Structure 1
Amino acid sequence: MPSIQNTVNIQSLDMYNNYAQFIVLHEIVYFMKSMGIHNFSLRDITNPEPNRTLSILSAVMNYMKFHSSFLQIYEDATNETSEIYERKGIVEQEYQKLVDELERLQQRCEEYKPTIEAHTADVNASQNRIGELDDAIGTTAQNNSQVEGEIETTCAAI
């Protein structure tokens, strides 16, 4: 077991040993004041009076009941916070997966971009050619109509 000098930064171990009881008393008095017992003293420990001891114990019990009622609320809040942190971690992992997938898809889009642009140019050229052929078909249809009209006129004249 480590010595007290190694665990606590103490200049003089003798002085600490002499005043340890006062340090403990100070902490007990501080604890009692936090519970609302402002006149607690060393006499309450060394020479307790039954009625005063009863009132001190009553105050301690009331404090513990009060404290335990908030302890459940604190535990519930702690559990809820833990669950929220777990869900946050899961959501962050899912988000990172989606970001990675998006980056992968963007990279694939960049890889296929030249091919898509080339195919788009081919499609545009084909559409232009189709437009030219439609115009040619329209012109040919007009020419056919004129020729048919001339044939009918010639046949009627004969």
Structure 2
Amino acid sequence: MADRVLVAPDKFKGSLAATEVAARVAAGLSRAGFRGEVVQLPVADGGDGTVDAAVSAGYRRVELEVRGPTGRPVTAAFALLDETAVIEAAQASGLSLLEPGQLAPLTASTWGVGELILAAIRIGAKRIVLAVGGVATTDGGAGLLEALGARLADASG
């Protein structure tokens, strides 16, 4: 029977990405004398790190510039495998994209998430998996819808 360890961590928020946690645990096992197989499989909870987890599972990373939560350009990514795109809202509208102490829940937008969806569709995605954790907004997806071409109106039009 072969010795095998599965290392499947989520991020250590604020310090290490899930891929880094997995690599460091694997290195620690090796230093401690473990000689069996170490399988690294970073996971995510639907927030920061979801795209990285999909990439570690065989998806291809696609990067582009989109509007960040405050409207400034940011580099964001989604993961693509065949006709499925994994889109992490935090890539375009995440809390981590704001300056420390500069939360803007009432003005931050999900517009960039819509741009990620459009880009995925343009390169052939037919199925979108949208992970919505870790976002800086409370717009309910209004910016995302507007980026996709929707027009939002109040009761008076």
TM bracket (short chain): under 0.3
Report which of the two has the higher share of strand: 2
**TM-score (normalizing by structure 1):** 0.17
| Higher RCO (CA-CA < 8 Å; seq separation 6+) | 2
Give the number of the structure whose residues are more often helix, by fraction. Answer: 1
* TM-score, length of structure 2 as denominator length: 0.18
